[in-house]
């Protein structure tokens, strides 16, 4: 699958990724509550302008840490501008990814890959990298868009690659217009 659906969301569309309407449709707190606790180290891979990163930082509290990683400097700059001068700036570490390297080596308790795995050119290598940094009892929530992006067959192929990397695949939460799965490191 190497077409329009694999393209990275441009920085110019960051506003659409960070709106009140989206908060209403995909409430970060409600979605992440079953997975995130205070003190955790969490990865928001493909963080964009920080729609989930901000809530993750609140949820992990002062003893936790969020690693917000993205391919695009522009997205990371938008997140940096939001947290600059706040206590969240101390909890969120920004990481510039490369096309085939996430550039994160610290161990994580939880990872979020929201509407971004279909943009990854080398999915098997991607899942192997995630597996190498996920703690023994950790989880990764993968959510992919259905409408005109990822078919059920494509999503199943993606989760099969994650399983080949050593993850156990579980059912994810219901997310509007999305497929979801929980990858467990057991």
Mean pLDDT computed over 11-20: 53
The mean pLDDT value for 12-16 works out to: 49
| CATH number belonging to the domain at 14-184, selected among 3.40.50.450, 3.40.190.10, 3.40.50.150, 3.40.50.1110 | 3.40.50.150
**Contact, 29 vs 179, CB < 8 A?**
no
Reported as a single tens digit per residue, the pLDDT across 70-129 is: 999 998 999 999 999 999 999 999 999 998 899 999 999 999 999 999 999 999 999 999
Q: HEC string of the chain?
A: CCCHHHCCCCHHHHHHHCCHHHHHHCCHHHHHCCCCCCCCEEEEECCCCCHHHHHHHHHHCCCCEEEEEECCHHHHHHHHHHHCCCHHHHCEEEEECECCECCCCCCEEEEEEECCHHHCCCHHHHHHHHHHHEEEEEEEEEEEECCCCCCHHHHHHHHHHHHHCCCEEEECCCCCCEEEEEEECC
Ordered by start, the domain boundaries in the chain are 14-184
């Amino acid at each position: 699958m190497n077409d329009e659906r694999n393209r990275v969301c441009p920085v110019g569309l960051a506003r659409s990724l960070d709106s009140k309407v989206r908060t209403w449709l995909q409430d970060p707190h409600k979605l992440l509550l079953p997975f995130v606790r205070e003190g955790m180290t969490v990865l928001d891979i493909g963080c964009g302008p920080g729609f989930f990163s901000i809530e993750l930082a609140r949820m992990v509290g002062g003893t936790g840490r969020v690693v917000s990683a993205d391919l695009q400097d522009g997205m990371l700059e938008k997140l940096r501008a939001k947290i600059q001068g706040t206590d969240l700036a101390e909890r969120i570490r920004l990481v510039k990814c490369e096309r085939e390297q996430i550039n994160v080596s610290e161990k994580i308790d939880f990872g979020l890959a929201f509407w971004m795995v279909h943009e990854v050119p080398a999915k098997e290598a991607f899942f192997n990298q995630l597996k190498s940094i996920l703690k023994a009892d950790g989880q990764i929530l993968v959510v992919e868009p259905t409408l005109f992006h990822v078919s059920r067959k494509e999503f199943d192929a993606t989760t099969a690659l994650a399983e080949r990397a050593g993850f156990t695949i579980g059912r994810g939460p219901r997310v509007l217009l999305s497929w979801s799965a929980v990858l467990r490191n057991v």
